[in-house]
A and B are shown apart, each in its own frame.
Chain A
């Protein structure tokens, strides 16, 4: 069979009475049996900042995988009313519907999920309920319960400010012990119960790739959560890059993320041949 250039097809996926919108990138080898579902943060549409998921989808298809970049329900081209989603109850039904769509309408037999920020929580929460998913990439996602996430973000801002103007911040913010007292609930209560449940549940049969960056406020959250939950280290991988990823407000962050996610998907696809199903 002659390999062709990937082709993109916009779709509406019917679920819960509405249409969740997405774009499927069909690889030149249409018999490809691995599909990757990409999501952004909750306020962003499926293309992500500066179209980084458009580029990632094209590169995945060039490597022989289907890609589906997915809008949230009520966001982007999806129909229905906009909803403010809760980190503890993310809209997993959209991911489940998207996976079913790929499995029913293309030759895809295995699904990989990859998403940034809030989307990382959505796909991780959805993964245990989709038997065909065996790998998830969680990228720069908060993993604390909401109140604690707000506090870590504030603490991160203070830390950055201290780096730039130590004398001023030191006098106004007090010492480190005082800051520790101000950050809120006991540490054992900080990790999101939904995250803990989804991670421990999914790692029984799948693998997770955490992609974070040193300066992101969410990175401390993830490190703490992994310390607390102690998941099987052979079931996950954590890459912490220098600089920032969260919000993807630099071209470097976008390019690095695309490269790492695409190469990780390629490795996952190669490691476990499709014959499994």
Chain B
């Protein structure tokens, strides 16, 4: 059986509301075992863009909330998010993906983005997910800086579990890594890269840095350096940490220790597949998602297996 998204033919339209209503009929896609629906959602603070993935058959009791990473990594890792969302929905898990204000379709100005605005929007998205009748347990999921967002929002919404992929749980260090990428990229393309120290100084002096096409503000930079996502309490009862890039294994081990010390039951897994060593380098590679498919499928498989044992 094939899907369908159907909009109303133009003969029925007469004003803006009619056109919008006619098009809105195509916002949903019904696949064989799940339904996807894209939507703009107004929140108290602005607007987010969501994509819902809901099983067509019986649903499991846990719903995943996908918390995206920062700047260009939101788009770079979107393929991983959607592959996971579709796989999880087929396995019976409801999933909600969202784009925070300042990102992607949500619109808004990236210059207004900070870690706190991302957490704020994640909490708003979690409220939407929690309103689905089949969702009994919230499980935030995040890759790279999205892991910090997931960890910080988890304590605010009383999440039952948390899944972190190649987590960057030291936001200040993460942003310094992106600045280093900018500095190196400038040298490589012949534009004459600014020195890392000069970029940091610019931010600490209250300026804004063009971070490879994204305006990084002093407010965002300072807030990140003052944040400790794993300090938020209470931590979820169950946690999955997936180490993707072998170089990030030490960060994963440190996060595991802290979550265990805070009382969580932690499982650590190492993902396998081509592209591991390039994952999370912070480079805007624009690599085609088809080339990372095996790795992404492995991350999704491990996360779903962990959830199936838990809920």
Contact = CB atoms under 8 A, between A and B. Distances in A.
Interface string B184-208: 0100011110000000000000000
B105 A54 contact: yes
Interface string B263-306: 00000000000000000000010111111010000000000000
Contacts of A17: 2-3
Contacts of B212: 249-250
B19 interface: yes
A242 interface: no
B83 to A, nearest CB: 8
Interface stretch (B32-40, B140-148, B156-164, B238-246): B32-40
A105 B8 contact: yes
A51 interface: yes
A167 B103 CA distance: 44
B26 interface: yes
A13 B251 CA distance: 42
A54 B106 CA distance: 9
Given A21-B38, A45-B75, A251-B215, A13 B5 contact: yes
B58 interface: no
A4 B8 CA distance: 21
A231 interface: no
Contacts of A250: 210, 212-213
B31 A79 contact: yes
**Interface range on chain A (Cβ under 8 Å from partner):** 35 or more
Contact of B286 (A9, A44, A101, A252): A44
A107 B20 CA distance: 12
A164 interface: yes
Contact of A9 (B27, B78, B288, B293): B27
A203 interface: no
11 contacts: A14-B3, A28-B16, A30-B18, A44-B286, A47-B75, A74-B289, A75-B289, A103-B10, A160-B189, A250-B210, A251-B213
Interface of B: 2-10, 13-16, 18-20, 22-24, 26-29, 31, 36, 38-40, 49, 51, 72, 75, 78-79, 82, 102-105, 107, 110, 185, 189-192, 210, 212-215, 284, 286-291, 293
